Amino acid sequence: MSNSERIEQLLASMTLEEKVSILSGEDFWSVPAVDRLGIGKLRVTDGPNGARGGGSLVGGVKSASFPVGIALGSTWNVALLEEIGAALAEEVKSKNAHMLLAPTVNIHRSVTNGRNFECYSEDPFLTAELAVGYIKGLQDRGIGATIKHFVGNESEIERTTISSEIDERALREIYLLPFEAAVKKAGTWGVMSSYNRLNGTFTSEHNWLLGTVLRDEWGYDGIVMSDWFGSHSTAETVIAGLDLEMPGPTRDRGQKLVDAVKAGTVNQDILDRRVLAMLRLMDRVGSLDDHRPHAERADDRPETRALIRRAGAEAAVLLKNEGVLPLAGTGTIAVIGPNAKTAQIMGGGSAQLNAHYRISPWQGLVSAVGENRLRYAPGCTNDRFQPVLRGPFDAEYFDNETLSGTPVYVGTQEDAQTFWIGRVAEGKVDPLHFSVRLTGHFKPEHSGAHNLGIYAAGFAKAYVDGKLIADAWTNWSKGRTFFEEGCDEVVGSVMLEAGRAHEVVIEFATKDFSTLGLAALACGIGYPLGDAAIAEAVGAASGAEVAILFVGRNGEWDTEGSDLQSITLPGRQDELVAAVAKANPRTIVVLQTGGPVEMPWIGSVAAVLEAWYPGQEAGNAIADVLTGAAEPSGRLPQTFPVRWSDNPAHSQDREVYPGLEGKVRYEEGIFVGYRHYDKLGLTPLYPFGFGLGYTQFALSDLVVDDSDFESDGVVNVAVRLTNTGAREGSSVVQLYVSDAEASAPRPAKELKAFAKIKLEAGASTTVSLALDARSFAFFDTHAKVWLVEAGAFTIHVGLCSTDLPLQQQITRKSALTLPL
């Protein structure tokens, strides 16, 4: 019996209730088995920069932490993305799961989107090519990809309810393109609908999006699952094309769907299509016959460590270098900044996981050059919240929301940060209706005033030595934490004595949620750094051969559920950079951010390296680049503007961004990223595709073969790339297309091909780049076709979007229409 015959037979054998059961989750991470028919349980796990497994968003079984999306976007290396996808497949298997909730391919519309770190690029073509590699790597090893979020989730503000108002041309050319490539080129097995509405309708029940475009036009035969709690109806979602409601227990299906089918509201044929898609998926990922007990492993593989380190180094983008990198000499190195001894390896939200380990830049440099050469000063802090209190904490759980009576469960907790989802207190309490008291101790390093902060998706209070210090209970109001389900941090001041173990008691109770059914808490204590800390950093820098500043943001700022309010460095970091650079002209700035930042000090520093969040090997990867053990071969996947106001989403009209009265209007249309800067003639701080290395490259001998351009729109391009420097290195050859004679507004140029090439010093190679007809087309919204018009097109080839020295014009005599 063939696989398809077996699936059809299973479908015919299932009762209505059994069919409905596999169209929604059983719990937070799985779809129920159908024991009577031998259908196993399907399990999913969060990605995209690792496989967390079935635990909470904090803690749980340890996992490998890979570079985040924007870092992978910076590699411009499709083969590397496929390699990473393959490694992630093994990670998913170690968590006994069958699907990874990844990759994330939303577009960098705004420089302030809190989830930019998780996405690849501002450019849809670069995003699409990288996503295809990632998906192939996963699925070639039997693990299903779940490309997300389909579509229009380019901001975290009111994301579960807001309507993204996007015209069809912008949708087709920018926002849908990575998903189209994932379906047509990679054959993705899963698509996740976004939380938001698209032009007024929730994407999880959008007939045009899920039916007309995804299935009818693109021929998609995988499943569409909701984002967690992103389903809002029963019949509407099933009819539109949402196969799987997540998580469980179901809110919109189950008996409601059984009743809808019996009443004729949902046609039996439509239901069977949804069930057939689920069975097909289960067959593809092997869960149909997977009856193993659920068990998770922490596989810390040497080959995975090496891959993460290599990828982290390749992602680093060298933005400026006035002869100070790679590091040379034997003198003292001042290591300064809030990210120097803290390993910033990932962003926040559902992408976070419990990494096997975290290598800080300090640790990486100690291994690379020896601790005797290093001098450390923190300079300032960059925390959004007070540093999380580390435990252990005794935890008393109550099966009520008033902390009353005898605890029904007593346990321990590692620290004062947790998500309570799924099974809480070994099932002794309702996960959405309970209270808990945490008791622990904090021993400060300094005497004096400390800040205690607390925030929660729920009600919370924090006491020190019996005194209430921070109250996020009495006047709780919704803020920008915990996916917009939590309050903003409430901060109180408390005098503490160095070396004394002060008792800390935290009380928490659940509350009604808006959209996402979760309970969460974070509490921290911090010691403020002032002028003396900056003075100490200046002192360390002034006596050093070179000063390296590790500054930027962290996963508290770059996080799901909260956009940034500016792109200036948090806290006093700009002041710190300026002061250190004044004391030592050989100052190197290493940025770790999830996107662009403003750099008012750029003229006074000798070098700038953007290292992003490169995963658990962060410090080693950064040290490899700084010392020259690895080449900084990253290229910017997002334009760095001079200031936030230069960005295409910045507007005085709040409906354009951040949104107004439930709508966010994509007024700029197709003019996103570098297309916007070209249109307005704005000079960015650093352009799309830019990046320096430790060697130099030259392009020559452009050859364009347009012999098939008139007949089928195909053009083949060849160009000579030469490493003119003194050491091996990599470069990215980039090809852009212009259509100056178009009947519709078109960008000045658009990326349509690229290739990353490594060459020995003095070596040359011919780089071939192929263009298909879509490379020259725009979407005609009236005729509903992709249109290549008659007339002249210009091919530009270079090493970044503003460095395109080679050009050639080609011409078509007739128009060409392409199918959807």
H or E stretch covering 532: helix 531-542
User: Three-state SS string across 107-164, please?
Assistant: CCCCCCCCCHHHCCCCCHHHHHHHHHHHHHHHHCCCCEEEEEEECCCCCCCCCCCCEE
Residue 500 CB: number of other CB atoms within 10 A? 12
Give the span between the Cα atoms of 197 and 407, in whole angstroms. Answer: 42
Give the span between the Cα atoms of 160 and 29, in whole angstroms. Answer: 20
Task: Of 802, 702, 791, 716, give the one whose Cα is nearest residue 746.
Answer: 791
Q: Alpha carbon 449 to chain centroid distance?
A: 37
**Residue 208 backbone class (left: φ over 0; alpha: ψ -120 to 50; beta: rest):** alpha
Residue 698, burial from CB neighbour count under 10 angstroms (0-12, 13-18, 19+): middle
Cross-strand pairs, 464? 467, 504
Asked whether the beta carbons of 454 and 461 are under 8 A apart, the reply is yes
Start-to-end CA distance of the chain, whole Å, equals 35
Is 227 an annotated catalytic residue?
yes
Check residue 168 and report its DSSP letter: H
Which is the catalytic residue, given 46, 123, 227, 739? 227
Structure tokens at 280: 């097909």
Task: Please name the amino acid found at residue 530.
Answer: G
Cross-strand pairs, 197? 163, 202
Asked whether the beta carbons of 645 and 676 are under 8 A apart, the reply is no
Largest Cα–Cα separation, the chain: 84
Give the span between the Cα atoms of 624 and 50, in whole angstroms. Answer: 22
Give the span between the Cα atoms of 363 and 396, in whole angstroms. Answer: 38
Asked whether the beta carbons of 604 and 578 are under 8 A apart, the reply is yes
Residues 6+ apart with CB under 8 A from 286: 98, 142
Give the span between the Cα atoms of 338 and 593, in whole angstroms. Answer: 13
Give the span between the Cα atoms of 299 and 285, in whole angstroms. Answer: 21
Residue 233, burial from CB neighbour count under 10 angstroms (0-12, 13-18, 19+): middle
Q: Which residues are catalytic?
A: 227
